[in-house]
Amino acid sequence: MAEDKGIIAELFWKINEPKDKNNMDDLEKKHTPVLEFPAKVKKGEAFELGVKVGSMPHPMQNAHFIQFVDLFVDGLYFTRVNFTPVVTEPKAKISVILSAGKEISAVIRCNLHGLWKSSYPIRVE
């Protein structure tokens, strides 16, 4: 394994998800991606997908920051947003066009605390 530079290995080398979405601890609140979009979207029409990390602000300093968020529909990757410490916040709005899909997922990576995932149901009609 590469030299540890503050990485929390037990979190970094797996995909983390909150144990209980309705009762998250501060670590989970700071890392779990939050997605906002209409509950029902029209097939083939653009809609706005908002993503932020997380429900509690996460540091964006050089030593500790959110590197990116990857987005998936039904487990298939469709885009990535990269973030830069100090000059960006870990949030974005993206115009998305789907022809099908039942679930949108996001996976973020913190440079110290690793990958964190959340999934949301969506209706594409």
Check if the beta carbon of residue 100 is closer than 8 Å to that of residue 124: yes
Distance in angstroms (rounded) separating the CA atoms of residues 76 and 70: 10
Identify residue 84 by its one-letter amino acid code. T
For Fe ion, the closer CB: 28 or 98: 28
70: its two tokens = 């990857």
Show the site string, 59-98: x = touches Fe ion by CB under 5 A, - = not: ----------------------------------------
Minimum CB separation of residue 30 from Fe ion in Å reads: 6
Minimum CB separation of residue 68 from Fe ion in Å reads: 13
Show the site string, 102-121: x = touches Fe ion by CB under 5 A, - = not: --------x--x--------
Show the site string, 26-65: x = touches Fe ion by CB under 5 A, - = not: ----------------------------------------
Minimum CB separation of residue 83 from Fe ion in Å reads: 12
Cβ partners under 8 Å of residue 72, min gap 6? 78, 104, 105, 106, 107
| Cβ neighbour number for residue 121 with a 10 Å cutoff | 9
Q: With CA atoms as reference, report the closest residue to 73 among 21, 19, 29, 123.
A: 123
